[in-house]
Structure 1
Amino acid sequence: MSQAHPYQTLISAANLLQNAQNPNWVILDCRHDLVDAAAGRAAYDAGHIPGARFANLDRDLSGAKQAADGSFKGRHPLPETDALLATLRQWGINDDTQVVAYDAQGSMYAARLWWLLRSIGHSSAAVLDGGLAAWQAAAGSLSTAEPAPAAGNISAKPPLTASVDAHDILHNLTNPRRTILDARAPDRFRGENETIDPVGGHIPGAKNRFFKDNLQADGRFKPGHQLHEEFGALISEPQAAIMQCGSGVTACHNLLALEIAGLHGAALYPGSWSEWCSDPKRPMAKGV
Protein backbone atom coordinates (compact mmCIF):
# COMPACT_ATOMS: atom_id res chain seq x y z
CA MET A 1 0.00 0.00 0.00
CA SER A 2 1.67 3.19 -1.19
CA GLN A 3 1.02 6.72 -0.07
CA ALA A 4 0.16 9.68 -2.26
CA HIS A 5 1.65 12.18 0.16
CA PRO A 6 4.25 10.58 2.43
CA TYR A 7 5.74 12.43 5.36
CA GLN A 8 9.31 13.36 4.45
CA THR A 9 10.51 15.72 7.21
CA LEU A 10 8.23 16.05 10.25
CA ILE A 11 4.98 14.54 11.44
CA SER A 12 2.83 15.94 14.23
CA ALA A 13 1.72 13.84 17.17
CA ALA A 14 -1.90 14.30 16.04
CA ASN A 15 -1.15 12.89 12.60
CA LEU A 16 0.82 10.00 14.04
CA LEU A 17 -2.09 9.16 16.34
CA GLN A 18 -4.33 8.91 13.28
CA ASN A 19 -1.96 6.58 11.44
CA ALA A 20 -0.08 4.63 14.11
CA GLN A 21 -2.07 1.46 13.42
CA ASN A 22 -1.39 1.51 9.69
CA PRO A 23 0.32 -1.82 8.89
CA ASN A 24 2.59 -0.10 6.38
CA TRP A 25 3.95 2.34 8.95
CA VAL A 26 6.98 1.57 11.14
CA ILE A 27 7.72 3.62 14.25
CA LEU A 28 11.24 3.62 15.65
CA ASP A 29 12.27 4.70 19.14
CA CYS A 30 15.75 6.28 18.95
CA ARG A 31 16.24 7.37 22.55
CA HIS A 32 19.87 7.40 23.66
CA ASP A 33 22.33 8.94 26.11
CA LEU A 34 25.91 9.59 25.00
CA VAL A 35 27.24 9.05 28.54
CA ASP A 36 25.01 6.05 29.38
CA ALA A 37 24.68 3.71 26.42
CA ALA A 38 22.09 1.55 28.20
CA ALA A 39 19.73 4.42 29.01
CA GLY A 40 17.86 4.38 25.70
CA ARG A 41 16.95 0.72 25.88
CA ALA A 42 15.94 1.07 29.52
CA ALA A 43 13.64 3.96 28.63
CA TYR A 44 12.14 1.93 25.78
CA ASP A 45 11.50 -1.04 28.07
CA ALA A 46 9.80 1.25 30.60
CA GLY A 47 7.33 2.52 28.01
CA HIS A 48 7.25 3.47 24.32
CA ILE A 49 4.79 4.37 21.60
CA PRO A 50 2.72 1.23 20.93
CA GLY A 51 4.20 -0.84 18.11
CA ALA A 52 7.50 1.05 18.11
CA ARG A 53 10.75 -0.82 17.68
CA PHE A 54 13.98 0.21 19.38
CA ALA A 55 16.82 1.62 17.27
CA ASN A 56 20.17 1.58 19.06
CA LEU A 57 22.50 4.39 17.99
CA ASP A 58 25.70 2.45 18.58
CA ARG A 59 24.58 -0.90 17.17
CA ASP A 60 21.98 -0.09 14.50
CA LEU A 61 22.73 3.45 13.34
CA SER A 62 26.54 3.38 13.36
CA GLY A 63 29.32 1.34 11.78
CA ALA A 64 32.86 0.26 12.62
CA LYS A 65 34.98 2.97 14.22
CA GLN A 66 38.21 1.85 12.61
CA ALA A 67 38.95 2.16 8.90
CA ALA A 68 40.79 -0.49 6.89
CA ASP A 69 44.02 1.48 7.24
CA GLY A 70 43.67 1.55 11.03
CA SER A 71 42.62 5.19 11.25
CA PHE A 72 39.81 6.33 13.54
CA LYS A 73 36.58 7.13 11.69
CA GLY A 74 34.87 8.88 14.60
CA ARG A 75 32.58 7.88 17.43
CA HIS A 76 29.54 7.16 15.24
CA PRO A 77 30.62 6.35 11.67
CA LEU A 78 27.92 5.58 9.14
CA PRO A 79 26.93 1.90 8.94
CA GLU A 80 27.73 -0.02 5.78
CA THR A 81 24.77 -0.02 3.40
CA ASP A 82 24.26 -3.79 3.51
CA ALA A 83 24.26 -3.79 7.31
CA LEU A 84 21.81 -0.88 7.43
CA LEU A 85 19.48 -2.60 4.96
CA ALA A 86 19.55 -5.81 6.99
CA THR A 87 18.60 -3.90 10.13
CA LEU A 88 15.81 -2.01 8.39
CA ARG A 89 14.40 -5.24 6.95
CA GLN A 90 14.30 -6.84 10.41
CA TRP A 91 12.15 -3.90 11.47
CA GLY A 92 9.69 -4.73 8.68
CA ILE A 93 10.52 -1.78 6.46
CA ASN A 94 9.62 -2.11 2.78
CA ASP A 95 10.30 0.20 -0.15
CA ASP A 96 6.93 1.90 0.36
CA THR A 97 6.88 1.96 4.19
CA GLN A 98 6.30 5.22 6.02
CA VAL A 99 8.92 5.38 8.77
CA VAL A 100 8.53 7.65 11.80
CA ALA A 101 11.44 8.16 14.19
CA TYR A 102 11.29 9.75 17.61
CA ASP A 103 13.31 10.27 20.77
CA ALA A 104 13.11 12.31 23.95
CA GLN A 105 16.26 14.38 23.36
CA GLY A 106 15.07 17.12 21.03
CA SER A 107 15.04 14.77 17.99
CA MET A 108 18.85 14.64 17.88
CA TYR A 109 18.92 10.86 17.46
CA ALA A 110 15.72 10.56 15.44
CA ALA A 111 17.24 12.93 12.88
CA ARG A 112 20.18 10.57 12.44
CA LEU A 113 17.83 7.74 11.47
CA TRP A 114 15.93 10.10 9.16
CA TRP A 115 19.18 10.99 7.38
CA LEU A 116 20.29 7.36 7.10
CA LEU A 117 17.03 6.42 5.41
CA ARG A 118 17.44 9.28 2.96
CA SER A 119 21.03 8.17 2.34
CA ILE A 120 19.68 4.95 0.77
CA GLY A 121 16.99 6.80 -1.16
CA HIS A 122 14.03 6.20 1.18
CA SER A 123 12.08 9.48 1.20
CA SER A 124 9.09 8.35 3.28
CA ALA A 125 10.85 9.05 6.57
CA ALA A 126 9.79 11.61 9.15
CA VAL A 127 10.68 12.72 12.66
CA LEU A 128 7.94 13.04 15.28
CA ASP A 129 7.87 16.77 15.93
CA GLY A 130 8.34 17.32 19.65
CA GLY A 131 9.26 13.70 20.29
CA LEU A 132 7.78 11.48 22.96
CA ALA A 133 6.66 14.49 25.03
CA ALA A 134 4.46 15.67 22.15
CA TRP A 135 2.96 12.18 21.82
CA GLN A 136 2.07 12.08 25.49
CA ALA A 137 0.74 15.65 25.42
CA ALA A 138 -1.59 14.52 22.63
CA ALA A 139 -2.89 11.76 24.93
CA GLY A 140 -0.91 9.06 23.20
CA SER A 141 -0.53 5.89 25.24
CA LEU A 142 2.64 3.95 26.05
CA SER A 143 3.33 0.24 25.82
CA THR A 144 5.97 -2.15 27.15
CA ALA A 145 5.34 -4.78 24.46
CA GLU A 146 8.08 -5.26 21.88
CA PRO A 147 7.13 -6.24 18.31
CA ALA A 148 8.61 -9.43 16.93
CA PRO A 149 11.24 -9.24 14.18
CA ALA A 150 9.69 -8.83 10.74
CA ALA A 151 10.81 -9.43 7.15
CA GLY A 152 10.87 -6.22 5.16
CA ASN A 153 12.19 -5.88 1.63
CA ILE A 154 13.60 -2.35 1.52
CA SER A 155 16.29 -1.90 -1.13
CA ALA A 156 18.87 0.79 -1.74
CA LYS A 157 18.01 3.47 -4.26
CA PRO A 158 19.90 6.59 -5.41
CA PRO A 159 20.74 8.64 -2.31
CA LEU A 160 18.84 11.76 -1.38
CA THR A 161 21.82 12.98 0.64
CA ALA A 162 25.44 13.98 0.18
CA SER A 163 28.47 13.40 2.40
CA VAL A 164 32.11 14.40 2.55
CA ASP A 165 35.19 13.00 4.26
CA ALA A 166 38.21 14.43 6.05
CA HIS A 167 40.11 14.81 2.76
CA ASP A 168 37.32 17.01 1.42
CA ILE A 169 37.48 19.14 4.57
CA LEU A 170 41.25 19.50 4.24
CA HIS A 171 40.89 20.54 0.62
CA ASN A 172 38.27 23.10 1.60
CA LEU A 173 40.68 24.64 4.10
CA THR A 174 43.18 25.39 1.34
CA ASN A 175 40.55 26.23 -1.27
CA PRO A 176 37.56 27.48 0.75
CA ARG A 177 34.41 27.25 -1.31
CA ARG A 178 32.07 25.58 1.17
CA THR A 179 30.69 26.77 4.50
CA ILE A 180 31.05 24.39 7.44
CA LEU A 181 28.43 24.54 10.21
CA ASP A 182 29.16 22.86 13.55
CA ALA A 183 26.05 21.69 15.47
CA ARG A 184 27.69 21.34 18.88
CA ALA A 185 26.99 23.53 21.91
CA PRO A 186 28.80 26.89 21.74
CA ASP A 187 31.16 26.09 24.60
CA ARG A 188 32.34 22.86 22.97
CA PHE A 189 32.71 24.68 19.66
CA ARG A 190 34.99 27.18 21.37
CA GLY A 191 37.03 24.33 22.86
CA GLU A 192 35.70 24.73 26.39
CA ASN A 193 34.21 22.07 28.67
CA GLU A 194 35.01 19.22 26.30
CA THR A 195 34.07 15.99 28.07
CA ILE A 196 33.36 13.64 25.17
CA ASP A 197 36.26 13.95 22.72
CA PRO A 198 39.94 13.97 23.74
CA VAL A 199 40.66 17.36 22.17
CA GLY A 200 38.59 20.54 22.36
CA GLY A 201 38.10 23.02 19.55
CA HIS A 202 36.68 23.13 16.04
CA ILE A 203 37.60 22.89 12.38
CA PRO A 204 39.20 26.20 11.30
CA GLY A 205 36.74 28.46 9.53
CA ALA A 206 33.66 26.59 10.75
CA LYS A 207 30.62 28.50 12.00
CA ASN A 208 28.53 27.41 14.96
CA ARG A 209 24.84 26.52 14.65
CA PHE A 210 23.81 24.73 17.85
CA PHE A 211 21.22 22.14 16.90
CA LYS A 212 18.94 23.13 19.77
CA ASP A 213 18.55 26.54 18.13
CA ASN A 214 16.33 24.75 15.58
CA LEU A 215 13.70 24.16 18.25
CA GLN A 216 10.97 26.13 19.93
CA ALA A 217 10.52 26.16 23.70
CA ASP A 218 8.16 23.17 23.54
CA GLY A 219 10.69 21.02 21.70
CA ARG A 220 9.04 21.25 18.29
CA PHE A 221 10.93 22.61 15.31
CA LYS A 222 10.69 26.28 14.46
CA PRO A 223 8.57 27.14 11.39
CA GLY A 224 10.24 26.71 8.02
CA HIS A 225 10.31 30.42 7.25
CA GLN A 226 12.12 31.15 10.51
CA LEU A 227 14.67 28.39 9.93
CA HIS A 228 15.16 29.68 6.37
CA GLU A 229 15.97 33.15 7.68
CA GLU A 230 18.31 31.90 10.42
CA PHE A 231 20.27 29.51 8.22
CA GLY A 232 20.28 32.05 5.41
CA ALA A 233 22.30 34.34 7.66
CA LEU A 234 24.98 31.63 7.92
CA ILE A 235 25.17 30.06 4.47
CA SER A 236 24.78 31.63 1.05
CA GLU A 237 23.78 28.44 -0.77
CA PRO A 238 22.98 25.08 0.83
CA GLN A 239 24.67 23.06 -1.93
CA ALA A 240 27.96 24.60 -0.78
CA ALA A 241 27.39 23.85 2.91
CA ILE A 242 28.75 21.04 5.09
CA MET A 243 27.11 20.04 8.37
CA GLN A 244 29.20 18.50 11.15
CA CYS A 245 29.14 18.11 14.92
CA GLY A 246 30.92 15.85 17.40
CA SER A 247 30.30 12.50 15.71
CA GLY A 248 27.90 13.05 12.81
CA VAL A 249 24.68 12.74 14.82
CA THR A 250 23.39 16.21 15.71
CA ALA A 251 24.65 17.48 12.35
CA CYS A 252 21.70 15.52 10.93
CA HIS A 253 19.42 17.73 13.06
CA ASN A 254 20.71 20.77 11.16
CA LEU A 255 20.24 18.88 7.88
CA LEU A 256 16.64 18.15 8.82
CA ALA A 257 16.10 21.80 9.74
CA LEU A 258 17.50 22.81 6.35
CA GLU A 259 15.00 20.52 4.61
CA ILE A 260 12.16 21.99 6.64
CA ALA A 261 13.39 25.41 5.57
CA GLY A 262 13.39 24.42 1.92
CA LEU A 263 17.18 24.69 1.73
CA HIS A 264 18.29 21.51 -0.02
CA GLY A 265 21.62 19.97 -0.90
CA ALA A 266 23.89 20.42 2.14
CA ALA A 267 26.34 17.60 2.88
CA LEU A 268 27.16 15.70 6.08
CA TYR A 269 30.69 15.15 7.37
CA PRO A 270 30.02 11.86 9.21
CA GLY A 271 33.33 11.64 11.09
CA SER A 272 32.94 15.22 12.34
CA TRP A 273 35.09 16.56 15.18
CA SER A 274 35.69 13.15 16.77
CA GLU A 275 37.44 11.92 13.62
CA TRP A 276 39.04 15.26 12.78
CA CYS A 277 40.73 15.75 16.15
CA SER A 278 42.07 12.18 16.23
CA ASP A 279 44.90 13.20 13.88
CA PRO A 280 47.13 15.89 15.45
CA LYS A 281 48.39 16.84 11.99
CA ARG A 282 45.00 18.28 11.10
CA PRO A 283 44.60 22.00 11.88
CA MET A 284 42.36 22.91 14.78
CA ALA A 285 41.01 26.15 16.19
CA LYS A 286 39.63 27.40 19.48
CA GLY A 287 37.48 30.35 20.49
CA VAL A 288 34.98 31.95 18.15
Structure 2
Amino acid sequence: MDLFITAEALRDHFDEVTVFDLRFLLEDLSYHRVVYEEGHIPGAFYLDFEDDLSDPKGDFGGDHPFLLPEDFARLLEGFGLKDDSTVVLYDEESLMSAARFIYQSQFAGLSIKIHILKGGYGAWLAAGGEEETAIPKAPGGGHLSIQPRPDLICKQDTVKEKMDDPTSLLIDSRAPQRYLGQVEPRYRIAGHIPGAVNYFFKDVIAEDGGLKDRAYLEDHFAGLDKYDDIILSCGSGGSACVNSLALQALGIPHRLYNGSYSEWVANPDNPVNTGEEGK
Protein backbone atom coordinates (compact mmCIF):
# COMPACT_ATOMS: atom_id res chain seq x y z
CA MET A 1 0.00 0.00 0.00
CA ASP A 2 1.08 3.59 -0.71
CA LEU A 3 1.20 6.34 1.91
CA PHE A 4 -2.41 7.24 1.09
CA ILE A 5 -5.00 4.47 0.93
CA THR A 6 -8.64 4.49 -0.09
CA ALA A 7 -11.56 3.57 2.10
CA GLU A 8 -12.03 0.45 -0.02
CA ALA A 9 -8.44 -0.62 0.59
CA LEU A 10 -8.86 -0.04 4.32
CA ARG A 11 -11.94 -2.26 4.33
CA ASP A 12 -9.98 -4.98 2.52
CA HIS A 13 -7.15 -4.85 5.09
CA PHE A 14 -9.17 -3.84 8.13
CA ASP A 15 -8.16 -6.79 10.30
CA GLU A 16 -4.47 -6.15 9.61
CA VAL A 17 -4.22 -2.57 10.84
CA THR A 18 -4.65 -0.32 13.87
CA VAL A 19 -6.70 2.79 13.10
CA PHE A 20 -6.26 6.19 14.77
CA ASP A 21 -8.72 9.07 14.64
CA LEU A 22 -6.67 12.30 14.52
CA ARG A 23 -9.35 14.84 13.57
CA PHE A 24 -8.43 18.20 15.07
CA LEU A 25 -9.13 21.92 14.70
CA LEU A 26 -6.65 24.31 16.25
CA GLU A 27 -9.31 26.99 16.62
CA ASP A 28 -11.65 24.66 18.56
CA LEU A 29 -9.84 22.38 21.00
CA SER A 30 -13.07 20.60 22.00
CA TYR A 31 -13.88 19.64 18.41
CA HIS A 32 -11.98 16.37 18.23
CA ARG A 33 -13.52 14.80 21.31
CA VAL A 34 -17.01 15.86 20.21
CA VAL A 35 -16.82 14.44 16.69
CA TYR A 36 -15.09 11.28 17.88
CA GLU A 37 -17.83 10.55 20.39
CA GLU A 38 -20.49 11.29 17.75
CA GLY A 39 -19.06 8.58 15.51
CA HIS A 40 -15.80 7.06 14.35
CA ILE A 41 -14.45 4.12 12.38
CA PRO A 42 -15.07 0.94 14.42
CA GLY A 43 -12.15 0.27 16.73
CA ALA A 44 -10.40 3.55 15.93
CA PHE A 45 -8.40 4.96 18.82
CA TYR A 46 -8.49 8.65 19.71
CA LEU A 47 -5.22 10.61 19.58
CA ASP A 48 -5.37 14.37 20.02
CA PHE A 49 -2.87 16.82 18.50
CA GLU A 50 -2.90 19.04 21.59
CA ASP A 51 -3.15 16.48 24.38
CA ASP A 52 -1.36 13.41 22.98
CA LEU A 53 0.97 14.50 20.18
CA SER A 54 2.49 17.45 22.06
CA ASP A 55 4.54 17.70 25.24
CA PRO A 56 4.57 21.19 26.78
CA LYS A 57 7.20 20.04 29.31
CA GLY A 58 9.45 18.48 26.69
CA ASP A 59 12.79 19.46 25.20
CA PHE A 60 11.37 21.52 22.33
CA GLY A 61 9.95 25.02 22.38
CA GLY A 62 6.82 26.60 20.98
CA ASP A 63 3.15 25.93 21.53
CA HIS A 64 3.25 22.26 20.51
CA PRO A 65 6.63 20.70 21.29
CA PHE A 66 7.30 17.20 19.98
CA LEU A 67 7.33 14.27 22.34
CA LEU A 68 10.72 12.73 22.99
CA PRO A 69 11.19 9.53 20.94
CA GLU A 70 10.87 7.27 23.99
CA ASP A 71 7.68 9.02 25.10
CA PHE A 72 6.12 8.76 21.65
CA ALA A 73 6.96 5.06 21.51
CA ARG A 74 5.50 4.55 24.97
CA LEU A 75 2.28 6.27 23.90
CA LEU A 76 1.86 3.95 20.93
CA GLU A 77 2.81 0.86 22.92
CA GLY A 78 -0.28 1.52 25.00
CA PHE A 79 -2.32 0.74 21.89
CA GLY A 80 -0.53 -2.56 21.41
CA LEU A 81 1.76 -1.48 18.59
CA LYS A 82 4.86 -3.50 17.78
CA ASP A 83 7.70 -3.00 15.32
CA ASP A 84 5.86 -4.79 12.52
CA SER A 85 2.50 -3.09 13.10
CA THR A 86 0.64 -1.22 10.38
CA VAL A 87 -1.45 1.82 11.25
CA VAL A 88 -3.98 3.88 9.34
CA LEU A 89 -4.57 7.52 10.29
CA TYR A 90 -7.55 9.65 9.39
CA ASP A 91 -7.66 13.37 9.80
CA GLU A 92 -9.27 16.58 8.62
CA GLU A 93 -8.58 17.93 5.12
CA SER A 94 -5.54 19.83 6.43
CA LEU A 95 -3.73 16.53 7.23
CA MET A 96 -1.85 18.35 10.01
CA SER A 97 -2.28 15.73 12.73
CA ALA A 98 -1.56 12.79 10.44
CA ALA A 99 1.55 14.44 9.02
CA ARG A 100 2.75 15.30 12.52
CA PHE A 101 2.22 11.70 13.66
CA ILE A 102 4.33 10.54 10.72
CA TYR A 103 7.14 13.02 11.37
CA GLN A 104 7.27 12.13 15.06
CA SER A 105 7.44 8.45 14.09
CA GLN A 106 10.36 9.21 11.80
CA PHE A 107 12.04 11.34 14.48
CA ALA A 108 11.73 8.39 16.87
CA GLY A 109 13.04 6.00 14.21
CA LEU A 110 10.06 3.64 14.46
CA SER A 111 9.67 0.84 11.93
CA ILE A 112 5.86 0.73 11.94
CA LYS A 113 4.13 1.12 8.58
CA ILE A 114 1.87 4.18 8.36
CA HIS A 115 -0.89 5.05 5.91
CA ILE A 116 -3.32 7.98 5.70
CA LEU A 117 -6.95 7.39 4.76
CA LYS A 118 -7.54 9.48 1.64
CA GLY A 119 -10.59 11.67 2.15
CA GLY A 120 -10.76 10.85 5.86
CA TYR A 121 -13.87 9.85 7.75
CA GLY A 122 -16.18 11.24 5.08
CA ALA A 123 -14.66 8.95 2.47
CA TRP A 124 -15.07 5.98 4.81
CA LEU A 125 -18.78 6.66 5.26
CA ALA A 126 -19.27 7.36 1.55
CA ALA A 127 -17.78 3.94 0.77
CA GLY A 128 -20.32 2.27 3.02
CA GLY A 129 -18.05 1.92 6.02
CA GLU A 130 -19.66 1.39 9.40
CA GLU A 131 -19.40 3.82 12.29
CA GLU A 132 -19.55 3.37 16.03
CA THR A 133 -19.79 5.52 19.12
CA ALA A 134 -18.36 3.00 21.59
CA ILE A 135 -14.92 3.95 22.90
CA PRO A 136 -12.49 1.06 22.33
CA LYS A 137 -10.17 0.11 25.15
CA ALA A 138 -6.45 0.35 24.40
CA PRO A 139 -5.05 -3.17 24.81
CA GLY A 140 -1.53 -2.29 25.94
CA GLY A 141 1.18 -4.90 25.57
CA GLY A 142 2.99 -3.22 22.71
CA HIS A 143 6.73 -2.98 22.24
CA LEU A 144 8.51 -0.58 19.89
CA SER A 145 12.21 -0.23 19.18
CA ILE A 146 13.41 3.33 18.71
CA GLN A 147 16.34 4.63 16.70
CA PRO A 148 16.08 8.40 17.25
CA ARG A 149 16.88 10.72 14.34
CA PRO A 150 17.98 14.02 15.96
CA ASP A 151 19.07 15.19 12.50
CA LEU A 152 15.37 15.64 11.60
CA ILE A 153 14.88 18.40 14.19
CA CYS A 154 16.61 21.72 14.73
CA LYS A 155 16.19 24.32 17.43
CA GLN A 156 16.09 28.11 17.51
CA ASP A 157 19.85 28.53 17.85
CA THR A 158 20.38 26.62 14.62
CA VAL A 159 17.83 28.78 12.79
CA LYS A 160 19.69 31.89 13.92
CA GLU A 161 23.04 30.42 12.83
CA LYS A 162 21.66 29.64 9.38
CA MET A 163 19.92 32.97 8.71
CA ASP A 164 22.80 34.41 6.67
CA ASP A 165 23.87 31.13 5.09
CA PRO A 166 23.03 31.18 1.35
CA THR A 167 23.10 27.38 1.23
CA SER A 168 20.28 27.15 3.79
CA LEU A 169 16.58 27.90 3.28
CA LEU A 170 13.91 28.44 5.95
CA ILE A 171 10.39 27.66 4.74
CA ASP A 172 7.33 29.11 6.49
CA SER A 173 4.33 26.83 5.87
CA ARG A 174 1.59 29.12 7.20
CA ALA A 175 -1.09 30.93 5.20
CA PRO A 176 0.29 33.80 3.06
CA GLN A 177 -1.66 36.45 5.00
CA ARG A 178 0.02 35.39 8.23
CA TYR A 179 3.46 35.13 6.65
CA LEU A 180 3.10 38.62 5.12
CA GLY A 181 2.08 40.07 8.48
CA GLN A 182 -1.41 41.08 7.38
CA VAL A 183 -3.17 39.05 10.09
CA GLU A 184 -2.13 37.07 13.13
CA PRO A 185 -4.81 35.22 15.10
CA ARG A 186 -2.56 33.48 17.60
CA TYR A 187 0.66 35.30 18.45
CA ARG A 188 1.65 38.71 19.80
CA ILE A 189 3.03 40.06 16.53
CA ALA A 190 2.34 39.38 12.86
CA GLY A 191 4.98 38.51 10.31
CA HIS A 192 7.63 35.86 9.83
CA ILE A 193 11.14 34.86 10.83
CA PRO A 194 13.60 36.96 8.80
CA GLY A 195 14.78 35.20 5.66
CA ALA A 196 11.91 32.70 5.59
CA VAL A 197 10.09 32.11 2.31
CA ASN A 198 6.45 31.07 2.12
CA TYR A 199 5.19 27.72 0.81
CA PHE A 200 1.60 27.44 2.06
CA PHE A 201 1.06 23.85 3.16
CA LYS A 202 -2.46 23.58 1.73
CA ASP A 203 -1.07 24.13 -1.76
CA VAL A 204 0.26 20.55 -1.80
CA ILE A 205 -3.05 18.88 -0.84
CA ALA A 206 -5.23 17.45 -3.63
CA GLU A 207 -9.02 17.63 -3.72
CA ASP A 208 -9.28 13.89 -2.98
CA GLY A 209 -7.43 14.30 0.32
CA GLY A 210 -4.04 13.04 -0.85
CA LEU A 211 -1.03 14.94 -2.15
CA LYS A 212 -1.07 16.62 -5.54
CA ASP A 213 0.67 14.78 -8.36
CA ARG A 214 4.43 14.66 -8.72
CA ALA A 215 4.53 17.05 -11.70
CA TYR A 216 2.76 19.73 -9.69
CA LEU A 217 5.00 19.19 -6.65
CA GLU A 218 8.17 19.33 -8.74
CA ASP A 219 7.07 22.66 -10.22
CA HIS A 220 5.87 23.99 -6.86
CA PHE A 221 9.20 23.26 -5.15
CA ALA A 222 11.42 23.95 -8.17
CA GLY A 223 14.82 25.30 -7.22
CA LEU A 224 15.09 23.77 -3.77
CA ASP A 225 17.82 21.44 -4.97
CA LYS A 226 20.30 24.34 -4.81
CA TYR A 227 20.09 24.39 -1.01
CA ASP A 228 22.11 22.10 1.25
CA ASP A 229 19.89 22.59 4.28
CA ILE A 230 16.12 23.08 4.11
CA ILE A 231 14.36 23.88 7.39
CA LEU A 232 10.58 23.72 7.64
CA SER A 233 8.63 25.91 10.06
CA CYS A 234 5.05 27.03 10.64
CA GLY A 235 3.23 28.19 13.76
CA SER A 236 4.09 25.39 16.14
CA GLY A 237 5.15 22.28 14.23
CA GLY A 238 1.94 21.09 12.58
CA SER A 239 1.42 22.37 9.05
CA ALA A 240 5.15 22.21 8.32
CA CYS A 241 4.82 18.43 8.57
CA VAL A 242 2.39 18.48 5.63
CA ASN A 243 5.03 20.17 3.50
CA SER A 244 7.38 17.47 4.75
CA LEU A 245 5.14 14.79 3.24
CA ALA A 246 5.41 16.53 -0.12
CA LEU A 247 9.17 16.97 0.08
CA GLN A 248 9.57 13.33 1.05
CA ALA A 249 7.53 12.34 -2.01
CA LEU A 250 10.12 14.20 -4.10
CA GLY A 251 13.10 12.85 -2.18
CA ILE A 252 14.18 16.33 -1.02
CA PRO A 253 16.04 16.21 2.34
CA HIS A 254 14.91 18.63 5.04
CA ARG A 255 14.44 19.04 8.78
CA LEU A 256 11.89 20.68 11.06
CA TYR A 257 12.10 23.65 13.37
CA ASN A 258 9.51 22.37 15.83
CA GLY A 259 9.25 25.56 17.90
CA SER A 260 8.58 27.58 14.74
CA TYR A 261 7.01 31.03 14.86
CA SER A 262 5.35 30.50 18.26
CA GLU A 263 8.73 30.01 19.91
CA TRP A 264 10.44 32.69 17.82
CA VAL A 265 8.07 35.49 18.84
CA ALA A 266 8.02 34.39 22.47
CA ASN A 267 11.42 36.09 22.66
CA PRO A 268 10.81 39.86 22.24
CA ASP A 269 14.44 40.31 21.18
CA ASN A 270 13.97 38.21 18.05
CA PRO A 271 13.37 40.26 14.89
CA VAL A 272 10.24 39.77 12.78
CA ASN A 273 9.82 40.67 9.11
CA THR A 274 6.71 41.44 7.11
CA GLY A 275 6.10 41.35 3.37
CA GLU A 276 7.46 38.97 0.75
CA GLU A 277 11.02 37.69 0.62
CA GLY A 278 12.58 36.31 -2.54
CA LYS A 279 12.73 32.59 -3.17
TM-score w.r.t. the length of structure 2 is 0.91
Residue in structure 2 matched with residue 16 of structure 1 by the alignment: 10
Counterpart of 1:117 in 2: which secondary structure? helix
- Measure the CA separation in 2 of the matches of 1:227 and 1:167: 30
- Measure the CA separation in 1 of the matches of 2:215 and 2:6: 18
- Measure the CA separation in 2 of the matches of 1:160 and 1:17: 36
1:59 aligns with 2:51: yes
TM-score w.r.t. the length of structure 1 is 0.88
Residue in structure 2 matched with residue 216 of structure 1 by the alignment: 206
List gaps (5 residues or longer) in structure 1. 1-5
1:41 aligns with 2:30: no
Q: How does 1:265-280 map to 2 (within 5 A)?
A: 265-280=253-268
- Measure the CA separation in 2 of the matches of 1:220 and 1:66: 31
Give CA deviations for 1:212-263 in whole Å, capped at 9, x if unaligned: 1011233332113321221124x22575211110000110000011122x22
Counterpart of 1:109 in 2: which secondary structure? helix
Counterpart of 2:270 in 1: which secondary structure? coil
Against the structure 1 CA distance between its residues 84 and 238, is the aligned structure 2 distance closer, same or farther, given a 3 Å change threshold? farther
Q: How does 1:1-288 map to 2 (within 5 A)?
A: 7=2, 9-22=3-16, 25-64=17-56, 73-123=61-111, 124-150=113-139, 151-159=141-149, 162-233=152-223, 235-237=224-226, 240-260=229-249, 262-288=250-276
State the one-letter code of the partner of 2:158: D
State the one-letter code of the partner of 2:180: R
Against the structure 1 CA distance between its residues 221 and 133, is the aligned structure 2 distance closer, same or farther, given a 3 Å change threshold? farther
Contact persistence 1:180–1:205 (CA under 8 A): yes
Identity of aligned residues (%): 35
Counterpart of 2:20 in 1: which secondary structure? strand
- Measure the CA separation in 1 of the matches of 2:84 and 2:258: 27
State the one-letter code of the partner of 1:167: D
Contact persistence 1:204–1:285 (CA under 8 A): yes
Against the structure 1 CA distance between its residues 160 and 121, is the aligned structure 2 distance closer, same or farther, given a 3 Å change threshold? farther
- Quote the RMSD (CA, aligned, Å): 2.0
State the one-letter code of the partner of 2:132: S
Against the structure 1 CA distance between its residues 215 and 139, is the aligned structure 2 distance closer, same or farther, given a 3 Å change threshold? same
Residue in structure 2 matched with residue 3 of structure 1 by the alignment: none
Q: Using the TM superposition, give the Cα deviation of residue 129 of structure 1 relative to its aligned residue in structure 2, in angstroms.
A: 2.2
